Structure 1
């Protein structure tokens, strides 16, 4: 009997999903994280499967692997925002999560249904940082997204002035939203501008915002003189 058990064990093997189930870990834990981080060896059989012995070796290391792999899967912006809000006790918007990704605080590691997925392990680390609330506050402020007329109001200039900034490539959208007059099944068509990029307009060498703001209604904008860029965003 012992010999038969030993032989069955020698012949048994596991594919990726079977091995995750055998180890008692979520599929994402094994497929998307432990292997991506290079924490475990690949298949040891010629047919691309793991032997029972290899599975046992991995099982013996689970306690060591768990903190390295983390407890959160990779998440979309909305779910990541919910996790941060729950752990830190503050309101967090999906746009703040996207800003965290822009500034390198929350890496994008993949896509699901053409939407970005953000690293769950980095999300855990961020939530545990002492300065997490301050980081989120800056990301929320700098990552605020505005449509063109809101952006013009933010800069305290006319919408026509803002269009000159866009034409000259001084400002450019970082994302796109859905118009309330179009079906959400269609691609986003409304350009969205980031607050931090709008703040940087004041530092542009060819833009004098105070002069623009001082131009009376009906008078030609000083921004007319800005050259048109070949890559002007729509």
Structure 2
């Protein structure tokens, strides 16, 4: 989307800015679940494959340029990073997964850690799964949802990099992800919102922000 399109996007939203993640501040980077603070405040988690655009999505929603950092070597940042919010809530930035250059043993270990976190963290109130719209849900995305959705909690899929697609292609990509969800999770798909998203073009930011605010009770 060009600058004119971005201006039109902001005008359509009344010039509104996202608020749910505003004021987020670093709390801890945990290399293991045991290093996380005890459950307390409501948490929202962001997960996604390496290079799906997770850090960019968090930064756009927080209104910050470098709140979440993308590693120069995808898949190498193996930590759960927590940010505290003025509202008392917590944002969990989960490590990216699926990068081929990471040793298999490390991959397996962190896949188990992430699966355990999303399935058992009692204060986790919602999951934002960041997916490249051009590629749809991959097996590791589905593995994460397999552990999370049976809990009954809501999720949203941010179909990122929609600015690299035409409007019709973006709509088709989101519809394809919706079909994947419906086919694999017939009992849970209704609790998953699919949002075409672009941090660059600011597409989907206010819709995602409204969902996050609802999860956090704002």
Alignment TM-score > 0.5, same fold: no
Which structure is higher in RCO with an 8 Å CA cutoff and minimum separation 6? 2
TM-score normalized by structure 1?
0.19
TM-score normalized by structure 2?
0.20
Normalized per residue, the structure richer in strand is 2
Normalized per residue, the structure richer in helix is 1
- Whose Rg is larger? 1
